Chains A and B, each alone.
Chain A
Amino acid sequence: MTNAFIKLNKVEVVFPVFNAVSLSLKNRALSAITGGKIDRRQDGISLVKGLENITLNIRSGERIGLVGHNGAGKTTLLRILSGIYPPTSGSAEISGDCIALINIGLGIDPEATGRENILLRGVMMGIRPAAIRKKTDEIIAFTGLGDFIDLPFRTYSTGMQMRLAFAVSTCIQPQILIMDEWLATGDEEFRARANQRLSEIVGAAKILILASHSRELLLNNCTRVIWLEHGKIRMDGESEVVLSAYYGV
């Protein structure tokens, strides 16, 4: 098993933001013919800096919290950390298998039965079908859906849908766990079990990255907090220190 770590070196992310004009090849061609060269700035592509000069060294065993106002670059950083965005400049080195529990419903097909969705959602998380089949009974038991498992997903109540998505999403233990807010929903009874399962996974993950607006949550789960502002690291240090500064207390 490899050692889990994440190293970001002077990472910068620049988004091209296209409007309807620049997304169209016809318009681009037309503007080139009609002298588009003169007002090139008006071609509808604006560059937005998502992240700037981010250098981070995350070692195995660290629990990182991520705070920042809306638009500070939290989601972008999460995507860099999970290897989805390649940095526009700088380098990102990520070692260890990573699961992002952001949209746990990803991959679910409402027309398919609960049982089929276990396979679909599992495959989407990178689990091999044979491994999923082995875990299926355990997952079904956890959801508590009983015979409903063979009915189409769309017939489930919202609570039941959440249960299924949650049970599959947390059925394997990643080395690097990335979360955007704490997942735990459902009725009283299920929430208790979900919380317990999530705590176990969080505890066993080599690296945890948790973006949240909740001070409680970050204090309870993280040892180190990174404060992002306008795509830059404003502060990086021990949870209590950074959170006091961030919340202004």
Chain B
Amino acid sequence: MAQQSNSAILQPKARVIATSLFKVALQDFQAGIKQKHIFLTLGWQDIATRYRRSRVGAFWLTLNMAVLIATLGIIFGSLFGTPIAEFLPSVTIGIVVWGLLSATISEGCESFISARDTILQVKMPLSIHIFRVITRNVLIFGHNALIIPLVFIILTKPVGLVAFYSILGMVLLILNSMWMVFFLSIICTRFRDVTEIIKNIMQVMFYVTPIIWGVGMLPQKVGAAVLNFNPFYHLLCVVREPLMGQAPTIFNWSVVVLMAVIGWTIALAFFNYYHKRVVYWL
């Protein structure tokens, strides 16, 4: 028995390490998805609560966003001197997508803190509280996204088949925001001031990412070099470029996919390691 070949001994050992790195996290994750009725109901409820007393309901969001986009579009469009037919669609998609990203991340930081009472009384997978935040923000995004076709129709801007790429881009964007939330929600539960730091970072990123300005406005070489280090730039590209009639570059896709793979690996390992402690930090 003791004299097994090396590979036979090594293999199960490697598997043990792999499961102990992710086992708890994956179990929690699976159980969370299985109870989708919980986070779908609660996520929807979150929006319903906010807008219950207004006549237009959740479309209040859409209206707010439309006003913001119209204002920014007109002001910056004339400031930069770019034709509105090019500028406005780009800004619209940028702001709507950024709205999803930044709200998910900054609200996601408080996934556990805001669900404190529930966590301390009902046994449910921790991932449910994260899925709730994601659900809520995807639903809000769904309302806001209505502005995009509206703008395209008003400006009679054609959309090609290449636009279908943005669906894939959207999926990757949500996958990426999810690992960020998994990771940050744990840190923010332990260190309460990180939420504020993240909110600050997201605010800075809003200006650093080409949302209300175009890549073409940057001085040639400096611009591209700096932008390529901005992960949010690539996330925005894979959603926006196809709608603007241009396929994202292979580089964009690679960064986004790689970020998802590495990010999820780290986030799951992190979630796995601190899973037991989160409840004590509340």
Contact = CB atoms under 8 A, between A and B. Distances in A.
Contacts of B192: 23-24
Contact of B280 (A23, A85, A111, A128): A85
A240 B229 CA distance: 71
Contacts of A125: 122
B143 to A, nearest CB: 19
A127 to B, nearest CB: 9
Interface stretch (B44-52, B90-98, B160-168): B44-52
Contacts of B42: 120, 123-124
B193 A23 contact: yes
A112 interface: yes
Contacts of B194: 25
Contact of B52 (A103, A112, A123): A112
B118 A106 contact: yes
Interface string A112-138: 100000011001111011000000000
B61 interface: no
Contact of A24 (B38, B193, B279): B193
A106 B117 contact: yes
Contacts of A88: 280
B121 A84 contact: yes
Contacts of B124: 126
B197 interface: yes
Interface string B39-61: 00110010011001100000000
B221 interface: no
Contacts of A83: 123
Interface residues of A, number: 32
B191 interface: yes
A161 interface: no
Contact of B122 (A100, A109, A112, A120): A100
Contact of A25 (B35, B37, B193): B193
Interface in B240-282: 276, 279-281
Contacts of A23: 190-193
Given A24-B191, A26-B193, A123 B37 contact: yes
B120 interface: yes
Contacts of B193: 23-26
A241 interface: no
A111 B49 contact: yes
A86 interface: yes
A25 B197 contact: yes
The size bracket of the interface on B is 20 to 34
Contacts of B49: 109, 111-112
B41 A84 contact: no
Contact of A111 (B35, B52, B118, B281): B52
B5 to A, nearest CB: 35
Given A84-B279, A86-B279, A123-B42, A112 B48 contact: yes
Interface in A46-94: 79, 82-86, 88
B52 A128 contact: no
Nearest to B46: A109
Interface in B107-125: 117-124
Contacts of B53: 111
Nearest to B189: A23
A119 B117 contact: no
Interface in B70-101: none
Contacts of B37: 123, 128-129
Contacts of A79: 120
Contacts of A18: 281
A123 B120 contact: no
Contacts of B191: 23-25, 28
Interface of B: 35, 37-38, 41-42, 45, 48-49, 52-53, 117-124, 187, 190-194, 197, 276, 279-281
Interface pairs A-B: 10 shortest CB-CB: A25-B191, A83-B123, A86-B276, A24-B193, A123-B41, A23-B192, A111-B52, A111-B49, A84-B123, A129-B37
Interface of A: 15-16, 18, 23-26, 28, 79, 82-86, 88, 98, 100, 102-103, 106-107, 109, 111-112, 119-120, 123-126, 128-129
Given A84-B279, A103-B117, A112-B48, 19 more contacts: A23-B191, A24-B193, A26-B193, A82-B123, A84-B120, A86-B276, A86-B279, A100-B121, A106-B117, A106-B118, A106-B122, A109-B49, A112-B52, A119-B41, A123-B37, A123-B38, A125-B122, A126-B35, A126-B122
